[in-house]
Structure 1
Amino acid sequence: MNDPHPWAAGLESLHDQVWLRLQRGVADRHAAARHPVLATVAPVGMPQARTVVLRAADPEARLLEVHTDIHSAKIADLRANPHAALHVWDAGAHLQTRIEARATILTGDAVAAIWARVPDPARQSYGTRPAPGTPIADALAYDKPADPAAFAVLRLEVLAIDAVHLGQRHRRARWRRETGWRGEWLAP
Structure 2
Amino acid sequence: MTGEPLPAFRDDLELTLAECWRLLQEGAASRHSAFHVPTVATLDEQGLPELRTMVLRAAEPERRLLRFHTDRRSAKIAQVARSPSGAIHIYDKPSGIQLRLAASLSIEMEGDEVDAAWAASRSFSRICYRVTAAPGSEVEHPEDVAFDHGAADEGRGQFCILLARIHRIEWLHLAHAGHRRAVFEADEKNAGKPEWKGRWLVP
TM-score (norm 2): 0.87
For 1:140 and 1:108, the matched residues in 2 are separated by 32
For 1:22 and 1:152, the matched residues in 2 are separated by 21
For 2:78 and 2:117, the matched residues in 1 are separated by 22
- Asked if structure 2 preserves the Cα contact closer than 8 Å seen for 1:5 and 1:93, the reply is no
For 2:122 and 2:181, the matched residues in 1 are separated by 38
| Number of the residue aligned with 1:116 | 119
Structure 1: which 4+ aligned runs deviate by more than 6 Å? none
TM-score (norm 1): 0.93
- Asked if structure 2 preserves the Cα contact closer than 8 Å seen for 1:108 and 1:149, the reply is no
Shift of 1:90: 1.3
| Number of the residue aligned with 1:77 | 79
5+ residue gaps, structure 1: none
5+ residue gaps, structure 2: 149-153, 189-194
For 1:31 and 1:144, the matched residues in 2 are separated by 30
Shift of 1:23: 0.4
- Asked if structure 2 preserves the Cα contact closer than 8 Å seen for 1:127 and 1:151, the reply is no
Shift of 1:159: 0.8
For 1:24 and 1:123, the matched residues in 2 are separated by 23
| CA shift in 2, pair 1:118/1:52, >3 Å | same
| Number of the residue aligned with 2:137 | 134
Structure whose alpha-carbon radius of gyration is higher: 2
| Number of the residue aligned with 1:172 | 181
The answer to whether residue 153 in structure 2 is matched with residue 148 in structure 1 is: no
Give the SS at the match of 2:17.
helix
Shift of 1:21: 0.6
Q: How does 1:1-188 map to 2 (within 5 A)?
A: 1=2, 4-110=6-112, 111-145=114-148, 146-168=154-176, 169-178=178-187, 180-188=195-203
- Asked if structure 2 preserves the Cα contact closer than 8 Å seen for 1:69 and 1:127, the reply is no
- Asked if structure 2 preserves the Cα contact closer than 8 Å seen for 1:43 and 1:76, the reply is no
Give the SS at the match of 2:76.
helix
| CA shift in 2, pair 1:92/1:6, >3 Å | farther
Give the SS at the match of 1:77.
helix
- Asked if structure 2 preserves the Cα contact closer than 8 Å seen for 1:107 and 1:152, the reply is yes
Shift of 1:108: 2.6
For 2:37 and 2:186, the matched residues in 1 are separated by 24
